Structure 1
Amino acid sequence: MAKQALGPIRRSFAPWDDPDRSPLIHFKSVTKRFGDFVAVDRVDLPIYEREFHALLGPSGCGKTTLMRMLAGFEEPSEGDVLLDGRSLKGVPPYRRPVNMMFQSYALFPHMSVEKNVAFGLKQDGMAKSEIGDRVAEMLKLVRLEQFAKRKPHQLSGGQRQRVALARSLAKKPRVLLLDEPLGALDKKLREATQFELTDLQVELGMTFLIVTHDQEEAMTVADRIAVMDQGAIRQVATPSEIYEQPSSRYVADFIGDINIVEGRIEPGANGVTRLVAPDSGLVIETEQTLDEIPETAWYAIRPEKLRVSLDEPSEASVNTVSGEIWDIAYLGDVSIYHVKLDDGTVVRATTANTTRLVERPISWDDRVWLSWDRTAGIILTR
């Protein structure tokens, strides 16, 4: 029988929108210092049961330190970490109902696959018969039954990753912590494994917390993403909200490709808000409303929201600009155009290659027009 799609479950899952739901994990005003260096700065973050949550940010932003405090490998300098409403202060790692899967996998090279998976269960004193059943269950879950007797060096990178995952899940923790778990895999295998992880997480009904600097990985696997920078959380939202409605220039620039134009806000008629870029004279109209009008604002628009044409659009007064094709990247499924405007600004535009073309209709040095809808971008005030 074909595996049932998990779409209905994922679409309806949003416990953070329910005011009556309490989080399973709560970082409450957590700060972590190493000497004078503040690695985590007053982080307040609730994570809910059965959620696949991602901590996303560049190296050194504090995401791994935050995870290590939940695992018990570090203690907060200030604040508290709660699990099911109870403080974890003073609780050693082996007493916490969490398990951690490391980037290096940390498999024992002299042990077989099944012995690696069984190791933690033996340490906990589980009965031998129960260990055998649990190991078989875990290997079936990650589809490695036929490799039970092999050693780690006899496996591919993806198979070793699955062994580490099975070992982490064998003790059936309340929370599984994943520290850059797919970093050692090649691109295609990493993409395939991301979907396997999300399906497995929903199937098991567990809470997963992943640390990653890979934006695509976080966008693929997570129910919500916490974007971190310099020890602080800049935004917590679903992948689509993070991408389409970033809260700041930092988040907009960190997630995916984006064009950002600085200007001043002018009120328009009929619910239209206008941003005027003083250097280029570019006038941008949006349907976005602002509570306050700042002195300076920024208009952010994704490259795929821009239309590229050789002919001037019929309505050329607003949301249109012309420039010269400066660079082209042909990626097969899409083409990326770098368009240099008359004031020297370079704008990125992406078009899908929906038809097979021997030669591209738009080439280097062509004069082109960019246009976009009023709802295509977003005005940022910070």
Structure 2
Amino acid sequence: MRHVLGAVRRAFQPWNDPAARPFIEFRGITKRFGDFTAVDDQTLTIYEREFFALLGPSGCGKTTLLRMLAGFEQPSDGSILLEGRDLSAVPPHRRPVNMMFQSYALFPHMSVENNIAFGLKQDRLPNAEIRERVAEMLRLVKLEGFAKRRPDQLSGGQRQRVALARALAKRPKVLLLDEPLAALDRKLREETQFELINLQETLGLTFVIVTHDQEEAMTVADRIAVMNQGRIVQIATPAEIYEAPRTRYVADFIGSVNIFGGTVEGRAEGAVTLAGEDGMRLRVANADAGQEAGRSAWVAVRPEKIRIAHEPPAERERNAVEGEVWDIAYLGDMSIYNVRLASGKIVRASLLNAARSVERPITWEDRVWLSWADDAGVVLAD
């Protein structure tokens, strides 16, 4: 996964404003299916015009949260509020939300324009208004010339746009997206991610997306809730999730990471020092307080923050270790080096290929030194 810091494109941070009121609130939400607890007593706030991502592996509870907001599932405990209104007694078709499904669920016998118009006809809108909205949606998703085609005459990306247009045609206050890009190939998926960002900003709507794709969440979202086993383990901006994960689970789930175990020796001048594996001395600057001497701890370091060289660094007494190049992956824009330490632990370092050359000064079975700055690592809570 490339180092993507996502939606740092705008100064939109209502969650840091004490006066801002949440648009969507999950209060103590629990959802049980028999003996299985899919969502376990979770509280979450989402703000108006936010692009919010629920991220996690299959079975973590993210889609269940989305379906409860849509009204397709009822909470076992807790409440869901939209603009301060409790939605528990509001049926799905009366909620000001619309959902775009992973399968798109287009009607195969209907044309593009009739698919988009379906919900509007169900709401018995005047024909003139339906035609106007359909034309507006076709312009919005850039499918003006495809109105008469059926879904089987479209590409996967075009079908995805039709489903998006149909979901937006009813002008919901909140658009729910359940793995909306999963069926697209990688290149088209990347292009569509930016189209979603631009569309969300143009319309000024609140988007809530469910995905298991870390890079997708990092690209589109203002904030991400990382979930595991029915619980939210961290909510933060993409940059904070990547650069300052709180736990080993979050660090390992988001992108590629090296995690070193160690024992805290002490704390001085805002930095924590640890005795680490393979004889390493670790020093982490700007670490949170509360790291007691003698306590076991974990340090996360991203591959792109690790320097790799034949010669040892000048300050080899900390954040430095020697190993052997075990494997190399050339990815065009960067090279990935897997370095085997004396203990057998594999440490990954990445190096940008800035020069136009296929020659690599470091190759297989070379003895190399890995090192990183004091502020490159993060001490994890557990």
With the length of structure 2 as denominator, give the TM-score of the two structures: 0.96
> Residues 83 and 138 from structure 1, CA distance in 2 versus in 1: closer, same or farther, beyond 3 angstroms?
same
Question: Counterparts in 2 of 1:74-223, with a 5 A limit?
Answer: 74-223=73-222
Where does residue 292 of structure 1 map in the other structure? Answer: 290
Instruction: Give CA-to-partner distance per residue, 1:179-198, whole Å, 9 cap, x none.
Output: 00000000000000000000
The DSSP-based 3-state class of the residue aligned with 2:349 is strand
**Contact map agreement 2:7 2:220 (CA 8 A) in 1:** no
Where does residue 36 of structure 1 map in the other structure? Answer: 35
Provide the identity percentage: 65
Where does residue 325 of structure 2 map in the other structure? Answer: 325
> Residues 92 and 365 from structure 1, CA distance in 2 versus in 1: closer, same or farther, beyond 3 angstroms?
same
Q: Counterpart amino acid of 1:288?
A: N
Q: Distance in 1 between matches of 2:8 and 2:137?
A: 23
Q: Distance in 2 between matches of 1:35 and 1:13?
A: 40
Q: Counterpart amino acid of 2:80?
A: V
Where does residue 225 of structure 1 map in the other structure? Answer: 224
Q: Counterpart amino acid of 1:212?
A: T
Q: Distance in 2 between matches of 1:349 and 1:339?
A: 8
Listed as ranges, the gaps of 5+ residues in structure 1 are 1-6
Q: Distance in 2 between matches of 1:234 and 1:8?
A: 20
Shift of residue 319, structure 1, vs aligned partner: 1.4
Aligned residue-pair number: 375
Question: Counterparts in 2 of 1:4-19, with a 5 A limit?
Answer: 10-19=9-18
Instruction: Give CA-to-partner distance per residue, 1:315-373, whole Å, 9 cap, x none.
Output: 21111111000011111111110001112111000111111223221110000111111
Question: Counterparts in 2 of 1:45-60, with a 5 A limit?
Answer: 45-60=44-59
**Contact map agreement 1:15 1:48 (CA 8 A) in 2:** yes
Where does residue 4 of structure 1 map in the other structure? Answer: none
Q: Counterpart amino acid of 2:290?
A: E
Shift of residue 269, structure 1, vs aligned partner: 4.4
With the length of structure 1 as denominator, give the TM-score of the two structures: 0.96
Where does residue 360 of structure 1 map in the other structure? Answer: 360
Where does residue 3 of structure 2 map in the other structure? Answer: none
The DSSP-based 3-state class of the residue aligned with 1:32 is strand
Shift of residue 149, structure 1, vs aligned partner: 0.6
Q: Counterpart amino acid of 1:323?
A: G
> Residues 262 and 175 from structure 1, CA distance in 2 versus in 1: closer, same or farther, beyond 3 angstroms?
same
The DSSP-based 3-state class of the residue aligned with 2:376 is coil
Q: Counterpart amino acid of 2:168?
A: L
Instruction: Give CA-to-partner distance per residue, 1:149-196, whole Å, 9 cap, x none.
Output: 111000000000000000000000000000000000000000000000
> Residues 9 and 317 from structure 1, CA distance in 2 versus in 1: closer, same or farther, beyond 3 angstroms?
closer
Q: Distance in 1 between matches of 2:381 and 2:28?
A: 26
**Contact map agreement 1:180 1:211 (CA 8 A) in 2:** yes
**Contact map agreement 2:275 2:281 (CA 8 A) in 1:** yes
**Contact map agreement 2:335 2:353 (CA 8 A) in 1:** yes
Q: Distance in 2 between matches of 1:269 and 1:46?
A: 37
Where does residue 301 of structure 1 map in the other structure? Answer: 301
> Residues 225 and 269 from structure 1, CA distance in 2 versus in 1: closer, same or farther, beyond 3 angstroms?
closer
The DSSP-based 3-state class of the residue aligned with 2:32 is strand
**Contact map agreement 1:275 1:299 (CA 8 A) in 2:** no
